Structure 1
Amino acid sequence: MATTLHDVATLAGVSIKTVSNVVNDYEHVRPATRDKVLKAIAELGYKPNLSARSLRSGRTGVIGLALPELTLSYFAELADAVIRAAERRHLVVLIEQTAGGDRTREIEMLSSPRLQLTDGLIFSPLGMGPEDLALLDVPYPLVLLGERIFDGPADHVTMRNVEAAKAATKHLIDAGRSRIAVLGAHEGELVGSASLRLRGYREALADAGIAFDEGLIGYAGLWHRRNGAEAMRAMLASGVRFDAVFGLNDTLALGAMRVLQEAGLRVPADVAVIGFDDLDEAKYSLPTLSTIDPGRDEIADTAVRVLAERIDNRLGPHTPERYLTDFRVIPRESTAV
C-alpha cells in the first residue's frame, strides 16, 4: 500500500497537519521539526498526491509561459530565466510556442484547454496588437510581456526600449561615429519593439545634431541572423556610406557583422557594431559584440513574482500595473575605440 501522511506523521512523532505544512513548504515550521519530517519522508519513500493536493487547494503549482518561438535566442534565454525564477517560488513552468507570433495562434492560446493545467499565464504576444485589448480580459491571472499591447487589463512587464536604444546609439556617437545604420526596422510599424527602438535611435541623433538619413534604415521581417545578414548585404549593395551599425537585436547584429567581415570591412576599425539583448553568444563572437542588457533576468523575476501574487489574491481587487526594468550598455570589442 502507498505511504500516507499518517504514516509519515507517526514515524516523525508529529501531527498530520505538521507533515502537510512541511510537504507544502510552509515557512512557519521549526527547523528541527522540518528535519524530522523530511527524514521520515525519505525513509518511507512518501510521494505527495499532487492531484489530490490540487483539488484541495484549487492550485496546480504550474504556470504557463507563451512565447513566439524558442529558436530566437532571446526567447530561449527568457524562458530559462522564467524557469529559474519559478523554481525559486516552487513553481513549474509549462511552455507554449505561438508559431513565431502568429496572431491566430496567440488568440487561441488565451483560451487553450491546456491552461486548465496551470494557475496563471505569462504571455508575450508578437502578432496581436492594440485592437486586441479586450481579448486579454481573461478569467485567470495573466501577466503580459513585450511591446505590442499597452494599457490592457493585465499586468505588464516591459523594458525601456526607447531609452535603451537611445543609449546604444549614443554609445556609437561617443565612439566618433556619425553615419549609423540601423538593421531590423519594420516598415509602417506604429507599436512594437522595432518602432520604439527606432525612436530612441532618432532621439540620440537629434540630441547630437546629426541629421536623420532614411537611406541608413535597413528593414527586416523576423529578427534572425539571416535577416540581419540579408539587410546588411542590401545596404552594402546600395552604396550608402556608414561607419557604424545598430542591430535592433543581437542576432541581427551578429548576422550583419559576418557580412561586413566577408566584405573585407574591419569591425570596429571600419564599422562599429552594437546589438540589443545581451545574448550569451554575444560574449563569444569575434569580435565580441557590444550590446544592451535590457534586464531580461529582472523581467523574468518580476513577471513570475507578479503572477504569483495575482494567483494568491485572484479573488481580490486588482488594478493592472506596468513594470519597467532597468538596462545598461555593455561595451565590448565591436565598438572599441
Structure 2
Amino acid sequence: MGASLKDVAALAGVSVKTVSNVVNGYTYVTPHTREKVERALGQLDYRPNLSARNLRQGRTGVIALALPELDAPYFAELSRFVIEAATERGWTVLIEQTDGLPAREREVLDGVREQRIDGLIFSPITVGADELSARTDSTALVLLGERVLEGPTHHVAVDNQLAAREVTEHLLSLGRTRIAAIGRQDNPNANTAHLRLAGYREALATAGIAYDERLAPATSNYHRADGARLMRQLLDLPQPPDAVFCCNDLLALGALRTALSAGLRVPEDIAIAGFDDIEDGRYSTPTLTTIRPDKEQVARVAVEMLEFQINGARSAGRRRPVPCEVTARHDLIVRESTSAGRGDGTQVPAAPEATRTP
C-alpha cells in the first residue's frame, strides 16, 4: 500500500492537517514547514487518493463526454483534448456515442446509463432548447456545437458561418467563379451544415455571384465516400465547378480523390478546401486547405465551465448558473489544394480570440 497522510506527517514531524494543507495547495503554511512536508512527500513517494477525496466532497471525479461519432477524426481529436484537460484536474472521462439518435441523446440528458457523474460535455444533433429547459437532472452541463444557440446552459462553439464565408472568399480571391459546396443538409436539425452553407452563400452574394443549387448537392452524411460521390456528380455537370468548398475535411478528402482520379490537377484545374483541420489533411497529396477550429481551446473552455459549475456555482448554492456562450478561435490554413507550393500550411488569421457572453 502507498504512504498515507499520517505516514508523511510522522516523517515530517508535523500534523496530518498540515500535510493535507500542503497537498491541497493551501497558502497558509510557512515556507520552512512546506519544505519539510514536500521533502517527506518525495521520500515516501506519496500519491493522493483522489477517489477518497472526491467521495468526501460528494463527487465521483468522473465526467462524461457524449459525441455523435467517435470514429470521426474531428471528434477523436477533440476527445483527446478533453481528456487532457480533465486529467489535469484528476478527473476520469466516460465517453458516450449517441450516433445522433434522438432516443440516445435524450437518454444522455436524463443521465448517462445511470452512471453517477459530476458533469457532462455534450454535442447534440437532435435535442433542442425545449428538451434542455425541461431537463430535471441537475448534473453540470456544457454544450458543444450549434444545435442549440443561446440555450439554457453553458455553450462552446465555433463561428461556422464566418469561417465558411472566409474560406469561400479565399477561393474567390484565386479568381474562381464557379464555386461548389459539398455538405448541404436538408435536415432542419443540421444547424452546423446550415450555418456553413449560409457563410458560403454570403460570400458568393457579396461577390455578385448567384447561388446555384446544382453546385450545392445534399448529403445526409459527412464521410469520405459521400465527398467522392458528390464530386463525381459535380464533375458530370455541363459546367463543372472550378473550386469546391467542403463542409468538413472528410468530404474534402473524398472529393480530392475523385478529382485526381478524373485526371484533374488540383489546384490548377479545380481548387478544394475543407473544414476542421484533421490530421489526414496535413498528409494528403496535395495537402488540404481548411478551416482550423481551435479544438484544444474548445475542450479546455468546456472543462473549465464544468469545473466552475461543479466547484464555484454549487458552493455558492446555485444549481444552474447563468449560461455563458463562448465562441472559440478559428484560422484559415492555406495549403496545396488551393495554392500550389503552399504545403507548409500558411495560416491566415480569420477570427479574433474567443469571445464570451454571459
In the alignment, which residue of structure 1 is the partner of 2:88? 88
Contact kept? 2:241, 2:270, Cα under 8 Å: yes
| Residues 122-161 of structure 1: CA deviation (Å, up to 9, x unaligned) | 1111232345333445311100001111232210111101
Contact kept? 2:125, 2:189, Cα under 8 Å: no
Distance (whole Å) between structure 1 residues aligned to residue 115 and residue 35 of structure 2: 34
- 1:63 maps to 2:66: no
| Residues 218-242 of structure 1: CA deviation (Å, up to 9, x unaligned) | 2121211111112212222344420
Contact kept? 2:63, 2:117, Cα under 8 Å: yes
Total equivalences in the alignment: 336
| Residues 225-283 of structure 1: CA deviation (Å, up to 9, x unaligned) | 11111221222234442000101011110111011101111110010000001112211
Q: CA deviation at 1:45?
A: 5.3
Q: CA deviation at 1:207?
A: 0.5
Contact kept? 2:50, 2:90, Cα under 8 Å: no
Pick closer, same or farther for the CA change 1:186–1:55 going to 2, 3 Å: same
Secondary structure of the 1:328 match is strand
- 1:283 maps to 2:282: yes
Distance (whole Å) between structure 1 residues aligned to residue 28 and residue 264 of structure 2: 63
Distance (whole Å) between structure 1 residues aligned to residue 138 and residue 323 of structure 2: 14
In the alignment, which residue of structure 1 is the partner of 2:178? 179
Distance (whole Å) between structure 1 residues aligned to residue 186 and residue 122 of structure 2: 25
Distance (whole Å) between structure 2 residues aligned to residue 35 and residue 240 of structure 1: 75
In the alignment, which residue of structure 2 is the partner of 1:97? 97
Secondary structure of the 1:142 match is strand
Distance (whole Å) between structure 2 residues aligned to residue 49 and residue 272 of structure 1: 55
More moved, 225-234 vs 67-76: 225-234
In the alignment, which residue of structure 2 is the partner of 1:197? 196
Pick closer, same or farther for the CA change 1:179–1:154 going to 2, 3 Å: same
Contact kept? 2:252, 2:272, Cα under 8 Å: yes
Structure 1's unaligned 5+ residue stretches are none
Contact kept? 1:178, 1:210, Cα under 8 Å: yes
Distance (whole Å) between structure 2 residues aligned to residue 29 and residue 225 of structure 1: 58
- 1:264 maps to 2:267: no
Pick closer, same or farther for the CA change 1:91–1:281 going to 2, 3 Å: same
TM-score of the two chains, using structure 2 as the length reference: 0.86
Secondary structure of the 2:147 match is coil
Distance (whole Å) between structure 2 residues aligned to residue 145 and residue 113 of structure 1: 17
Distance (whole Å) between structure 1 residues aligned to residue 52 and residue 27 of structure 2: 22
1:285-304 equivalences under 5 Å are 285-304=284-303
More moved, 12-21 vs 40-49: 40-49
Q: CA deviation at 1:50?
A: 3.7
Structure 2's unaligned 5+ residue stretches are 341-358
Paired residue type of 1:175: L
Distance (whole Å) between structure 2 residues aligned to residue 14 and residue 223 of structure 1: 61
Pick closer, same or farther for the CA change 1:33–1:257 going to 2, 3 Å: farther
Distance (whole Å) between structure 2 residues aligned to residue 46 and residue 294 of structure 1: 40
More moved, 140-149 vs 57-66: 57-66
| Residues 196-230 of structure 1: CA deviation (Å, up to 9, x unaligned) | 00000000000001111111012121211111112
More moved, 152-161 vs 43-52: 43-52
In the alignment, which residue of structure 2 is the partner of 1:140? 139
Secondary structure of the 1:219 match is coil
Paired residue type of 2:263: G
TM-score of the two chains, using structure 1 as the length reference: 0.91
Q: CA deviation at 1:83?
A: 1.6
More moved, 276-285 vs 41-50: 41-50
- 1:8 maps to 2:11: no
Pick closer, same or farther for the CA change 1:177–1:32 going to 2, 3 Å: farther
In the alignment, which residue of structure 2 is the partner of 1:325? 328
Pick closer, same or farther for the CA change 1:96–1:22 going to 2, 3 Å: farther
RMSD over aligned CA atoms reads 2.3
Contact kept? 1:136, 1:154, Cα under 8 Å: no
In the alignment, which residue of structure 2 is the partner of 1:226? 225
More moved, 312-321 vs 289-298: 312-321
Paired residue type of 2:9: A
Secondary structure of the 1:82 match is helix
Contact kept? 1:136, 1:153, Cα under 8 Å: no
Pick closer, same or farther for the CA change 1:75–1:2 going to 2, 3 Å: closer
More moved, 57-66 vs 263-272: 57-66
Distance (whole Å) between structure 1 residues aligned to residue 238 and residue 188 of structure 2: 26
Q: CA deviation at 1:319?
A: 0.9
Distance (whole Å) between structure 1 residues aligned to residue 189 and residue 5 of structure 2: 58
